[in-house]
Each structure stands twice: as C-alpha cells, then as structure tokens.
Chains A and B, each alone.
Chain A
Amino acid sequence: MPSATLLSQSILSGIFVGGLYGLLGLGLSLSWGMLRQINLAHFALAFLGAYLTYQLGSHGWDPLLTLIVIVPAFFVFGVAMHWVFARLAVTPFNSLLATFGLAVIIESAIQFVWSADYRKLESAYAAVKFKIGALYLPLPELISLALATALAFATWVVLRHTELGKAMRATAEDAPIAAAFGINTRLLERMLAGLCAAFAGVAGVALALTYTLAPSQIYSLIGVVFAVVMVGGLGNPFGPLIAGVAIGISEAVTMAVTAPAWAPLVSFSLLIVVLLTRARRT
C-alpha cells in the first residue's frame, strides 16, 4: 500500500503534467473544433517554441520573457499556414497529412540547427521549489500549470463573453451564414489559426522549462494529447485542461500503485470510455 505522501506527491505530479497536456491540447482542440484542421504540426511548433526558448535562454533571456518574441512570431506563422491551407482548400483529413509533413519538416529543421543531441534550458526557475508539509511544488511546473489555466480561462472569456468570440463561434458553426450577417469570417479564421499557433509557442516555453529537449520527442506526446483533446471536447477551452489533469492524475496514481508501464493504458482506456459514453448519449 503506498504511503499518503507518495500518493499525494504523485497526484501533484499528475496535476502538473496534466496542465502541460492541457496547454498542448488547447490550441489543437480549437484548431480541430473551430477551424476543422487536425494540426499535427502543433506538436512540432511547440517544440520549436521550446528550442527558441532554450536558445534565447542560453543568451541570458528569462524564459518567460521569450514569450514576447515567440507569441507574435508564432501568431504570424499560424496565420500564414492557415492562409495557405485555405487557398488550397485543404480538407480536415488532408490537413492531418499536410500538417504531419510540416511536423517532419520542422523536426528536420530543429535537428539541423540544434542537432539531435539533448538540450536542457538552465534557468533560475529550475532550482526553485516550495514545500508544503512533506510535499514539493517545483516552480517550473507551477508556472506551466498557471500558463495553462490562464490561457484556458482567457480563451473561455473571449469566446463566451466578447463580440469577437461570439463571431468566432458563429464562424466555426456556419461560416457562410456568419458571413451573411457581416462577419469577416476569413479574418476571424486567420486570427484563430494565429492564436492556436501562439498557444503552441506558449506550450513550448512550458516544455523548455520542464523537459530536456530532443527533436524526436515531438512525437512522444501526440497520443496522450490527442486523448486529452478528445476527452475534453473539441473547441472547448477548459476541456483539454480538465481532461489533461484527470488523465495526468490517473496516470500518476497508476504509476504510484502499480507498474508504471500500465500508465499509458489509463489515458486510452479513459478515451474509449468517454467516446462510448458520448456515442450512447447522442
């Protein structure tokens, strides 16, 4: 039987990793749910963001300060990518293939610039942790969780409570009708694509803070983040975060009480249960 400390520390670990899943899943969920683009390049973009954070960090930049460069740059990239996809009328299925190709290109570019060797961002945050009783809360993980929560909340506020958000949702629901009501759907779609890419950049900063980087790791999170997005619901800003934390905790508790190798089964079992339950409801 695991001790209370072990169980509590594992749950904390699950919450933190779940926050990262949620952060990675947010842009993917919005892109898939509202733009009908299954953007596999999202993961590669996140790692590109992580490498840029590493690069700027090694020149003395504070990792969080890199956001002022990465977010606008990625926004522009997202807009450009969407413009190309719209011009070529890429279907959702084709977007899966096209963005996978883009992910491979970005991976190769990362490997060309930073090599296949492991890179680790050394930041002042890395050594900071807080202790509550017997439990430890590392600052980089806290920052990642805070970024994930703040972005999910901000996105929810914008989509639910602003005219811009309502227009975006209307565009996602039925673009021709929205256009008939005077909404500039093309502009909104481009903005949303830009935001999704910018979210990937933010996730990259969180990745750089908490992970050691290697180009091939781009693919290591795809399965679980897809599960997070599906469980959380497409286009739902809080969905990936809640699902991410739920899956993160389930994985961590599984690792604490049974063989760690069982952990990946949890996320996909949850996915199957949710999909079956949803299918029955509809």
Chain B
Amino acid sequence: MKIARSLLTAMALAAAALLVRPAMADPSGQPIKIGSTLALTGPLAATGMVHKIVGEYYIDRLNHANGLLGRPVEWDLKDDQSKPELARTLYEQLITVDKVDLLMGPYATGAILQAMGVAQRYNKVLIHHTFGIPALAKYDLQFPAWSLGPNPETTFPNTLFDALAATPNPPKTIAILGSKFPSVLFMAQGARKVAQQRGLKEVLYLEYDFGTQDFGPIAARVKDANPDLLFVGAIGLEGNQLLEAMKKIDYTPHYHFYMYPAPGPMATSPLAKGALAASIFEQHKPFTDDPVAAEFVKAYNDRAAKAGLPYTRVETQAAVSFTAWQMLEAGVTATNSLDDQKIGQWLKTHKVRTIQGDLHFDGPSNYGDDLMKVKQVQNGEWVTVWPKQWAAPGATLQGN
C-alpha cells in the first residue's frame, strides 16, 4: 500500500513538473547559428581551450533554458590555428558560406583585429574577449568584453603603482622589460611613462623578441640592476622563463609584475611566489557573491578538469569569455532580434550586467571603464589584492 502511495506521489510530482515545463520550454524552431574561430591549435591553443570550454558551457546553458528568442543555439566554431590571417578567411567563410546569424570574436588581439575587418565589411556585431589595444578598435559595431578602458597603458600602471604605494615598502626603483608582442609592449611602454611621472627611478629598460628562449642574459641584467620592482610586459610563458632564469643565478625580485602570464604555469610555479599580474575576475569572494558567477565557476571547474586542463580555476581569460557571451545574449534578448544594427545600437546605449560588473560601451572605441585589478600568486593560487574592495578575504599585497 505504502509503495503504491509513493508511486502515485512520484507520478503526481512528475506530472506537476511537466505542467511547469512551459515556463522553461525547450527551445524550438530554426537554430540560431553563432560563428567564431578560436586558436585551438598553435602557440595560443592553451588559452584558446579556455575560451572553447566557456563557449560550450554557455551554449549548453542557453539551450537548457530557452535558447535565444525561444530558438535553439548552435555554435559554429572553427580552428584558426593561432594565425590571424586564417581567422580573417574563416570569418569570411562563416558569414558568406555558413551564413551564421551572429558572430563571436576569436582569441587574441591579432585575430580579433582581422575578424573586426571582416565584421565591418558585412556590418556584423563583433563582441570580442581579449583585444589588448583599444585605440586600434575603430569599427563601430565592435564591443569589448574585457573591461580595460580606452587607455589601459596609462590607467592600469597607475592602478598597479597605487597598489604598491600602499604597501609598507613602496618601490623606489623600477626595471621594465617588454616583449615585442603588440598588446604587451605598449603596456610596458605606458608603464615606463607612468613610472617616470610618478617619480620611480628607472634602472633598466629592455625590449626582447617574442619567442625568446634564452632568458639567462636578461635575468643577469635584471640582477645587475637590482630594482625594487620588476615590471615585465610579458605574455604567455615568458614570465615563467624569466623566473627560471633568475632562479638559476639566485635572484628573486622584491616585487615582480607580469602583464598577461599563462595563469596556470605561473600560479603553480614555486618560483612565482608573490608574482603580480592584471586581472578582472578571480575565483574567490567578492566576485563569487554573484550567483551567476558562482554557478559559472562551479561548471567551469568541472569542465576544465574533464578537459584535462592543468589549471582549472576561473581567472581573467575564462571570465572575459563568459562576459562576451553574456553581452551577446543581453543584446539579442533586449532587442528581441538578430539584427546586428539593433543589437549594436542597444549595446552602445545600455549597460550590461556581467560577472565583471555592469559594463557600458559609450567611451572611445566603445570601451567603458578600466576595471582591471591587481592579483598576486599566494600559496599557489591567484588572489586579487587590489583594489581593496575586490581583494580576496584577508589577502594583502606582499613583497618577497
């Protein structure tokens, strides 16, 4: 009798669930196709994989709800092999052959710049994750998901130097290294100007080729200059390579900053204790107080682990990727349309709530505020240390 009653209760619950379903109806109709490329192979593939995981998660998230405009969403993703010129060809193909409804940007400044040209030719909205040189973003319907402001080369170094000035031992001398990679060299050059304005004494300034393998002589020069602060306009693994070279000659800088390091290798390197970098989101409070962010963090951690990524925590790359999809969803939903002009106009005139905060796109080159923060490797993890209101609970900026 009890079993029969339980069965009836379960059936009633199931029927109720079915009745409730229309509120979260499965998307139906012709799928909306969103086209993009990512660096799935080649030198940028490690980070490209982060964007792939986020994109797949977001598409699943949309389709598990009500899709976009009630229609299912498909992601037409192609591999640009980390080659900007190939990205251009593939975006052309996405628009003219695959006839996608909407575009999402590729990864890395070079590829985004190429995709932007194609989007402009066809008047398509291009939301991009990681474009590092805002002044080059001339197209009216391009929108940055990375809130680095229109002049990050001056605003961010000021944020960093403010953070360091608030420590008990603020640096008085600085060594600046710059990789000849577009989106980081101009940050190093900007930091040089800002340091000069703020009275930091420059004891070394060097530019090196992107792809440099032997950091031994550069490390020797840094040791010789012995600055209070080492600012490295580095991208990818360069920061680790320099740290390894410095370790070999028994040198540890007091404060050391790397512009856009490969997050996993640097966080997990025992040599990177105290390394500083720029960030817009890290996997800790208060960022994760936002329920959407908390849900995303959990899902990303699981998916990144399943994909075999050595660093599974959400940081800047994953967060900007998620933000880009949030922006696209907001534009389509608010305009109830797939019309690029309508979506573009809406984005220009409205704020979008994202896991980075409320973003607006009404500044120069459609950039809003510089919301970048300073993070530091502490106990093998990245934690935000500045501004204080975004710092991880109990975390403060520390020197070596």
Contact A116 B41 (CB under 8 A): yes
Known: A9-B216, A10-B216, A212-B237. A3 touches B209 (CB 8 A): no
Whose C-beta in chain A lies nearest to the C-beta of B310? A117
Known: A9-B249, A118-B265. A214 touches B217 (CB 8 A): no
Against A, the Cβ 8 Å flags (1 = close, 0 = not) of B43-58 are 1011011000000000
**Which B residues lie within 8 Å of A252 (CB)?**
214, 216-217
Q: Does B220 contact A (CB under 8 A)?
A: yes
**Which B residues lie within 8 Å of A111 (CB)?**
41, 45
**Which B residues lie within 8 Å of A129 (CB)?**
248, 250
Whose C-beta in chain B lies nearest to the C-beta of A8? B220
Contact A13 B216 (CB under 8 A): yes
Give CA–CA (A2, B208) in the complex, Å. 18
Interface residues of B in 116-174 (CB under 8 A from A): none
Give CA–CA (A108, B81) in the complex, Å. 11
Q: Is the interface of A mostly helix, strand, loop or mixed?
A: helix
Q: Does A269 contact B (CB under 8 A)?
A: no
Contact with B218, one of A3, A138, A248, A260 (Cβ below 8 angstroms): A260
Known: A2-B224, A118-B46. A255 touches B217 (CB 8 A): yes
Contact A214 B308 (CB under 8 A): no
Q: Does A14 contact B (CB under 8 A)?
A: yes
Chain B nearest CB from A282 CB (Å) reads 33
Interface residues of A in 1-16 (CB under 8 A from B): 2-3, 5-6, 9-10, 12-14, 16
Q: Does B10 contact A (CB under 8 A)?
A: no
Chain B nearest CB from A249 CB (Å) reads 10
Contact A116 B250 (CB under 8 A): no
Contact B217 A118 (CB under 8 A): no
Q: Does B241 contact A (CB under 8 A)?
A: yes
Chain A nearest CB from B8 CB (Å) reads 51
A-B contact pairs, 7 of them (CB 8 A): A115-B45, A117-B264, A118-B46, A253-B217, A255-B217, A260-B212, A260-B217
Known: A6-B221, A10-B216, A215-B45. 16 other contacts (CB 8 A): A5-B220, A6-B224, A9-B249, A13-B220, A13-B245, A17-B214, A17-B216, A116-B42, A118-B264, A118-B265, A129-B248, A212-B265, A248-B214, A251-B217, A255-B208, A261-B207
Instruction: Write the residues of chain A forming the contact surface with B, with a CB cutoff of 8 angstroms.
Output: 2-3, 5-6, 9-10, 12-14, 16-17, 108, 111, 115-118, 120, 129, 131, 136, 138, 141, 211-212, 214-217, 220-221, 248, 251-253, 255-256, 259-261, 263-264
